[in-house]
């Protein structure tokens, strides 16, 4: 979702400038490749672009082939053979589709609605032969085809595009700001929760808002694609937040600090809940503390990288 939103924002700006845009999609790979099937980038007819299909070399070929699409008005497919050009040495099959402005507008609106509502949708690749390929997006009963003039009947593949991963960081210290900023750069929706004495600046790329423990659940849309990090540097504050959000469904729940601090927090937590509460026991077993991969981090930036590395690992279901 993160990359899709980025290329849609770029394409919308270009269309408003009166430019034509095309969508480049990897629809198949053979052998190893840096980026995989479904990866997309967008190119404007001034040959500026957003998104990447590789580390730089494939993009040059996309721009060269895009010139033909803008000149002829016809979509095309081509194969980028990386045997002698890429470290991965695989072949990448790429589709270039000229997108009409109305379809693009509808696509952007629907993606924004799904993003706001944390709703998944379908991305599809359809074909009518070896070289006849098209892409589309399915939003419940609405199908938006990028190759609107084609009628594909033979083969169809789909994938689910899920809501963008989100991280909610509770803490007013500068290490929380560092984590929030880096999280944005690697594709997370980033929220920083601060106390009432924190003066919220207007120039931050991530969302910052005031919340107390009792009001946090009503201010944040927590779901199964959300990570929560408690890093207030205050035992009492962490405990207060923990009491209010312990039953919240999350992808990841982490508390900054050593293992003993987590044990003390949980001991205090059990004083307020029944010890035979099986749901509570299940929830606390999934709390991670200390947070982050053990890579020997020392400075705040390194600690933020270790936390984000662990979040990426968890969200991508890698051991």
Measure the CA–CA gap between 180 and 92, rounded to whole angstroms: 35
Contact 59, 41 (CB under 8 A): yes
pLDDT tens-digit map of 15-58: 999 999 999 999 998 887 778 899 999 999 999 999 999 877 78
166-315: CATH number = 3.40.50.720
In the prediction, which pLDDT does 81 show? Answer: 83
pLDDT tens-digit map of 204-259: 888 898 899 999 988 888 888 999 999 999 999 999 998 888 888 899 999 998 88
Residue ranges per structural domain of the chain: 2-161, 166-315
**SS3 for 67-105, per residue?**
HHHHHHCCCEEEEEECCCCCCCCCEEEEEEEEECHHHHH
Locate 258 and state its tokens: 């050593």
pLDDT at 86 over 60: no
- The alpha carbon of residue 14 and the mean position of all alpha carbons in its chain are separated, in whole angstroms, by 23
pLDDT band at residue 268, thresholds of 50, 70 and 90?
A: confident
In the prediction, which pLDDT does 199 show? Answer: 77
Cα radius of gyration (the chain): 23
CA nearest neighbour of 51 among 104, 10, 93, 80: 10
Give start and end residues of each alpha helix (H) in the chain. 2-16, 57-72, 101-117, 174-185, 216-219, 235-245, 259-270, 278-285, 300-315
In the prediction, which pLDDT does 252 show? Answer: 94
Measure the CA–CA gap between 107 and 72, rounded to whole angstroms: 24
pTM of this prediction exceeds 0.75: yes
Pairing of strands 189-194, 166-170: parallel
Count Cβ atoms below 10 Å from residue 50 Cβ, excluding itself: 19
In the prediction, which pLDDT does 69 show? Answer: 95
Choice among 79-88, 102-111, 298-307 with the minimum mean pLDDT: 79-88
Choice among 24-28, 131-135, 166-170, 306-310 with the minimum mean pLDDT: 131-135
């Amino acid at each position: 979702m993160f990359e899709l939103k980025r290329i849609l924002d770029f394409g919308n700006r270009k269309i408003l400038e009166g430019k034509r845009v095309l969508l480049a999609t990897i629809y198949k790979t053979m052998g190893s490749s840096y980026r995989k099937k479904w990866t997309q980038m967008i190119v404007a007819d001034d040959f500026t672009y957003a998104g990447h299909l590789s580390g730089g070399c494939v993009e040059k070929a996309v721009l060269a082939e895009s010139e033909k699409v803008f000149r002829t008005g016809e979509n095309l497919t081509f194969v980028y053979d990386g045997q002698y050009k890429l470290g991965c040495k695989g072949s990448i099959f790429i589709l270039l589709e000229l997108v009409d402005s109305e379809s693009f507008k509808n696509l952007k609106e629907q993606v924004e609605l799904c993003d706001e509502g944390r709703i998944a949708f379908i991305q599809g690749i359809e074909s009518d032969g070896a070289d006849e390929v098209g892409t589309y997006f399915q939003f419940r009963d609405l199908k938006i085809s990028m190759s609107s003039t084609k009628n594909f009947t033979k083969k169809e593949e789909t994938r689910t595009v899920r809501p963008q991963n989100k991280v909610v960081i509770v803490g007013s210290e500068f290490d929380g700001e560092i984590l929030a900023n880096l999280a944005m750069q690697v594709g997370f929706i980033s929220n920083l929760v601060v106390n009432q004495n924190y003066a919220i600046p207007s120039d931050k790329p991530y969302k910052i808002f005031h919340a107390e423990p009792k009001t946090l659940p009503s201010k944040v849309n927590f779901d199964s694609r959300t990570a929560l990090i408690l890093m207030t540097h205050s035992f009492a504050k962490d405990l207060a937040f923990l009491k209010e959000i312990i039953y919240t469904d999350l992808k990841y729940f982490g508390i900054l600090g050593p293992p003993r601090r987590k044990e003390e927090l949980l001991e205090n937590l059990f004083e307020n809940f029944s010890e035979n509460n099986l749901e509570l026991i299940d929830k606390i077993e999934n709390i991670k503390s200390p947070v982050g991969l053990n890579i020997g981090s020392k400075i705040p930036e390194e600690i933020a990288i270790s936390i984000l590395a662990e979040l990426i690992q968890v969200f991508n279901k890698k051991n």
